[in-house]
């Protein structure tokens, strides 16, 4: 009986903690049912959107941890990327080397912008979000000035496909077909494996030299990594495998199977290890249950309807690896000293300064990281979408990324990888099905489109309001809010605010 109430309590708090996500999931389901669109269309669309947008959404997590709130300033990262994309296209670079050059140009720009934004935010502690929002619009104005007037007007350029016929200003859309389109998506798996192997080889060699020089101690992990990558590299020479790996798209079914196999191997290792360590049998319960669960999931793919969808959807490999890499980075950085400092700064400025952390510097660093990541995210976005809308591609980026993150259940003060990914899936599912659902329900697709815009604004408004309400109840009524913080009236510890 006691256990039952415990479970109920747990369920209750799970429902309460995830209320935004659950409400949104219900809206999504209703919209899917109403729209009557085939599942192949929806799932394919959702995975395309995940490829495009997840990286940018993940770029929002670090500022949240560091107490800067939702970073509306990622627009500026996107702008850095777009300046780089334009430069690369203008000088005629293409393919993956073009992408590398884009990253090479975008990164220092984004570092500079991020540094400036961070400095500015340090002057406006407690009002970063409103400042970031306005800053985004302001930066958009400067960007338009650059692209409409300076390019062609002051910097002479001569390229009739990119420049408006008068010779001043960049055209509305730049076609990336033939230069950067799919430049990241179409990297072959076999190339990834090769590069990965050589990278691991180089790292292992360096570590080995350091080991011999007694500056570093090689451990088992290093060797395992090397052996695994060498094994994969070796397997890639088997003709059948090579043929499979020399494609650039992975059928969802294969990707799903591969992920399940990796997870299963991981669990089997755990079982072997705990048997070896002679741990009690109860420790085996969880891995075995998980194995059964993976088996059941694999079994599900044999249902014709699911199998059809999973065979239809094809994933670009490298973007997903990059997304996974960023999620891993977000996770890892929190366990470093920098990450711990960020957390402390995010929780309380006074505690941070008492423990000798340079709060301002940490905040600037968080902004730099977020801006750089956002610029890379924008590059992934543009190469996937294939047309670069010069004056529109960046304008909604913060809006949609933040809405997606919030839909996943994140708040102004807490955001995780999981929330980001769930959020992207839910938010973009609604984006795909809303017009069709609007058409079925009101006989007007436009209503569906307006509805999704309303939802994206509304979810941000709701989240901000709920956060402010919670904070206001916690603080004294004369708390440390935007206006107080900006006027320095009661700003004892402004960064507690959002």
Partner 1 sequence: MKTLKTLYENIGLPRLIIALFFILLIVASIMLGFSPAALFSDVVRRWLMYGTLVLAMVPGIQSGIGLNFGISLGISSGLLGAVLAMEFAFVQDWNALYGAGSPWMTLGLALLLGVIFAAIVGTLYGMLLNRVKGSEMTVSTYVGFSIIAFMNIVWLSLSFKNGELSWPLQGQGLRNTASLSGSFGGLLSNPDVVQSTQPEWLHWLAFKVGDFTVPLGLILVFGFLCFLVWLFFRSKMGIAMSGAGENQLFTTSSGINVDRKRIQGTAISTVLGAVGIILYAQTYGFLQLYNAPLMMGFASVASILIGGATIRRAKISHVLIGTLLFQGILVTALPVVNEVVEIGTLPEVLRIIISNGIILYALSKTKGENQ
For the chain, how many helices (H) and strands (E)? 22, 4
Q: 181 vs 439, which CB is nearer to partner 1?
A: 439
- 261 touches 294 (CB < 8 A): no
User: Helices 337-347 & 359-385, crossing angle to 10 degrees?
Assistant: 110
Please report whether residue 23 would count as binding partner 1 according to CB under 8 A: no
3-state secondary structure of 56: helix
- 42 touches 429 (CB < 8 A): yes
- Determine the Cα–Cα distance for residues 360 and 353; give it in Å rounded to an integer: 10
Instruction: Please choose, out of 84-92, 283-291, 318-326, 465-473, the segment that lies near partner 1 by the rule CB under 8 A.
Output: 465-473
Q: Which residue has the tokens 């604004």?
A: 457
Q: Which bin fits 386, alpha (ψ -120 to 50), beta or left (φ > 0)?
A: left
As a dihedral over the C-alpha atoms of residue 94, residue 95, residue 101, residue 102, rounded to 10 degrees, the angle is 90
- 371 touches 80 (CB < 8 A): yes
Using CB under 8 A as the binding rule, the residues of this chain from 79 to 138 that contact partner 1 are 120, 123-124, 126-127, 129-131, 133-135, 137-138
Residue of 310, 318, 484, 495 interacting with partner 1 (CB under 8 A):
484
Q: Which of 155, 181, 189, 184 is nearest to 169 (CA)?
A: 155
Q: Which of 376, 429, 485, 480 is nearest to 59 (CA)?
A: 376
Residue of 26, 145, 228, 268 interacting with partner 1 (CB under 8 A):
145
Please report whether residue 142 would count as binding partner 1 according to CB under 8 A: yes
3-state secondary structure of 315: strand
Residue of 185, 248, 360, 482 interacting with partner 1 (CB under 8 A):
482
Using CB under 8 A as the binding rule, the residues of this chain from 153 to 212 that contact partner 1 are 153, 166, 168-169
Map residues 376-395 to x or -, x wherever contact with partner 1 holds by CB under 8 A: --------------------
Minimum distance of partner 1 from residue 62's CB (angstroms)? 20
Minimum distance of partner 1 from residue 138's CB (angstroms)? 4
- Determine the Cα–Cα distance for residues 27 and 295; give it in Å rounded to an integer: 30
Q: 148 vs 338, which CB is nearer to partner 1?
A: 148
Q: 210 vs 483, which CB is nearer to partner 1?
A: 483
Question: In this structure, what DSSP letter does residue 216 have?
Answer: S
Question: In this structure, what DSSP letter does residue 163 have?
Answer: B
Q: Which of 76, 6, 21, 104 is nearest to 424 (CA)?
A: 21
- Determine the Cα–Cα distance for residues 84 and 113; give it in Å rounded to an integer: 14
Residue of 36, 108, 141, 234 interacting with partner 1 (CB under 8 A):
141
- Determine the Cα–Cα distance for residues 462 and 21; give it in Å rounded to an integer: 13
Map residues 322-341 to x or -, x wherever contact with partner 1 holds by CB under 8 A: --------------------
Minimum distance of partner 1 from residue 405's CB (angstroms)? 14
- Determine the Cα–Cα distance for residues 303 and 469; give it in Å rounded to an integer: 47
Minimum distance of partner 1 from residue 308's CB (angstroms)? 35
Instruction: Please choose, out of 40-48, 178-186, 258-266, 481-489, the segment that lies near partner 1 by the rule CB under 8 A.
Output: 481-489
Question: In this structure, what DSSP letter does residue 388 have?
Answer: E
Minimum distance of partner 1 from residue 159's CB (angstroms)? 18
Please report whether residue 441 would count as binding partner 1 according to CB under 8 A: no
CB atoms within 10 A of CB 458: 12
Map residues 442-461 to x or -, x wherever contact with partner 1 holds by CB under 8 A: x-x-xx--xx-xx--xx-xx
Minimum distance of partner 1 from residue 114's CB (angstroms)? 17
Q: 212 vs 465, which CB is nearer to partner 1?
A: 465
Q: 193 vs 430, which CB is nearer to partner 1?
A: 430
Q: 235 vs 465, which CB is nearer to partner 1?
A: 465
Please report whether residue 150 would count as binding partner 1 according to CB under 8 A: no
Q: Which residue has the tokens 């780089």?
A: 84
Residue of 39, 148, 260, 334 interacting with partner 1 (CB under 8 A):
148
Give me the residues that bind partner 1 (CB under 8 A), please.
Answer: 120, 123-124, 126-127, 129-131, 133-135, 137-138, 140-142, 144-145, 148-149, 153, 166, 168-169, 442, 444, 446-447, 450-451, 453-454, 457-458, 460-461, 464-465, 467-469, 471-472, 475, 477-489, 497-498
């Amino acid at each position: 009986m006691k256990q039952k109430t415990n479970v109920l309590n747990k369920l209750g708090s799970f429902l309460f903690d995830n209320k935004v996500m659950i409400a949104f999931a219900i809206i999504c389901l209703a919209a899917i049912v109403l729209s009557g669109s085939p599942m192949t269309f929806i799932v394919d669309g959702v995975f395309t959107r995940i490829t495009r947008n997840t990286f940018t959404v993940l770029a929002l997590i670090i500022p949240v941890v560091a107490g800067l709130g939702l970073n509306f300033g990622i627009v500026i990262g996107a702008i850095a990327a777009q300046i780089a994309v334009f430069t690369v296209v203008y000088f005629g670079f293409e393919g993956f080397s073009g992408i590398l050059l884009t990253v090479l140009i975008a990164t220092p720009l984004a570092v500079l912008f991020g540094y400036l934004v961070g400095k500015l935010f340090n002057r406006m502690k407690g009002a970063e979000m409103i400042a970031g929002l306005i800053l985004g619009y302001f930066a958009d104005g400067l960007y338009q000035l650059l692209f409409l007037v300076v390019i062609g007007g002051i910097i002479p350029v001569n390229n009739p496909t990119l420049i408006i016929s008068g010779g001043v200003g960049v055209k509305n859309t730049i076609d990336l077909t033939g230069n950067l389109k799919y430049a990241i998506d179409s990297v072959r798996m076999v190339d990834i494996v090769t590069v990965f192997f050589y990278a691991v080889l180089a790292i292992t060699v360096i570590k080995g030299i350091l080991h011999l020089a007694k500056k570093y101690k090689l451990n088992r992990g290093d060797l395992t990594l090397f052996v695994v990558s060498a094994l994969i590299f070796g397997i890639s020479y088997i003709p059948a495998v090579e043929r499979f790996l020399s494609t650039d798209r992975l059928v969802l079914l294969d990707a799903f199977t591969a992920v399940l196999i990796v997870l299963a191997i991981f669990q089997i290792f755990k079982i072997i290890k705990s048997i070896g360590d002679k741990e009690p049998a109860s420790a085996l319960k969880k891995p075995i249950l998980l194995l059964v669960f993976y088996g059941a999931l694999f079994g599900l793919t044999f249902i014709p309807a699911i199998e059809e969808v999973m065979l239809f959807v094809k994933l670009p490999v490298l973007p997903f690896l990059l997304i996974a890499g960023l999620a891993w980075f977000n996770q890892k950085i929190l366990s470093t000293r920098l990450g711990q400092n960020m957390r402390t700064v995010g929780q309380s400025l006074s505690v941070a300064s008492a423990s000798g952390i340079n709060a301002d510097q940490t905040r600037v660093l968080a902004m730099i990281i977020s801006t750089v990541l956002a610029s890379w995210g924008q590059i992934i976005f543009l190469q996937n979408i294939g047309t670069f809308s010069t004056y529109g591609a960046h304008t909604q980026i913060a809006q949609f990324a933040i809405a997606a993150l919030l839909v996943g259940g994140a708040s102004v003060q807490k955001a995780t990888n999981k929330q980001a990914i769930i959020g992207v899936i839910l938010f973009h599912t609604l984006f795909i099905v809303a017009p069709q659902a609007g058409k079925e329900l009101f006989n007007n697709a436009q209503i569906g489109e307006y509805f999704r815009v309303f939802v994206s604004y509304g979810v941000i408004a709701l989240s901000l309001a709920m956060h402010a309400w919670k904070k206001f109840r916690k603080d004294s009524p004369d708390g440390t809010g935007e206006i107080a913080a900006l006027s320095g009236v009661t700003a004892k510890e402004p960064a507690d605010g959002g």
